[in-house]
Amino acid sequence: MLRDRSTILCFNDHTSSPIKIDNRIGQGNPLLMALYQFYNADLVEIPKENEGETAEAYIDDAIISATAKTFKEAHEKIIEMMTRDGGAIEWTKKHNSHFEFSKLVLIDFAHSRRPAERPPLTLPNIIINPSKSMKYLGIMLDQNLSWKEQLAYV
């Protein structure tokens, strides 16, 4: 199933020559859902749940989250989950599924009546500034969980 595969790209009036595929499972493959459960298992097991760390994954979209009294403490937990032995960055190398760091989003959730400083998160390859909102699996989340972004999106 994963050997001797190729694809052809078709758009507008252009059709490409066959392009060899040497990595990944084909889109639309009925086994994809079941295979990703096994593939991502180590990634979602990185957090130490009793320490306020969690992870969720759906196919190739993942969230790593941390709860703490301050955003600085939460960021420290996220950095630890990413960089520890057996952490997320090591997972990407072992699974040949490197994070596209430009797509990483940091959002710090807090009640709108409790303004707080939202510092950037510094990882080995990138500094991520907090966003006011983000989209995950088609749902818009905003930093105050007011759902205004989701309503506007819908």
Average pLDDT over residues 21-44: 76
Question: Is 2 domain-assigned?
Answer: no
* Residue 54 pLDDT class (50, 70, 90 cuts): very high
**Element housing 66 (H / E):** strand 61-66
How many separate domains does the chain show?
1
Q: Which domain holds residue 39?
A: 29-153
Question: Is 120 domain-assigned?
Answer: yes
How does pLDDT run across 9-20, given as a tens digit for each residue? 898 889 999 988
- DSSP code string of 3-34: SSEEE--EETTEEPPPEEE-SSPPTT-TTHHH
Question: Is 18 domain-assigned?
Answer: no
Model confidence, pTM: 0.75
pLDDT over 70 at 26, yes or no: no
23-87-55-52 Cα dihedral, nearest 10 degrees: 180
> Are residues 64 and 76 in contact, defined by beta-carbon separation less than 8 angstroms?
no
> Are residues 128 and 108 in contact, defined by beta-carbon separation less than 8 angstroms?
no
Question: Is 75 domain-assigned?
Answer: yes
pLDDT over 70 at 51, yes or no: yes
Question: Is 9 domain-assigned?
Answer: no
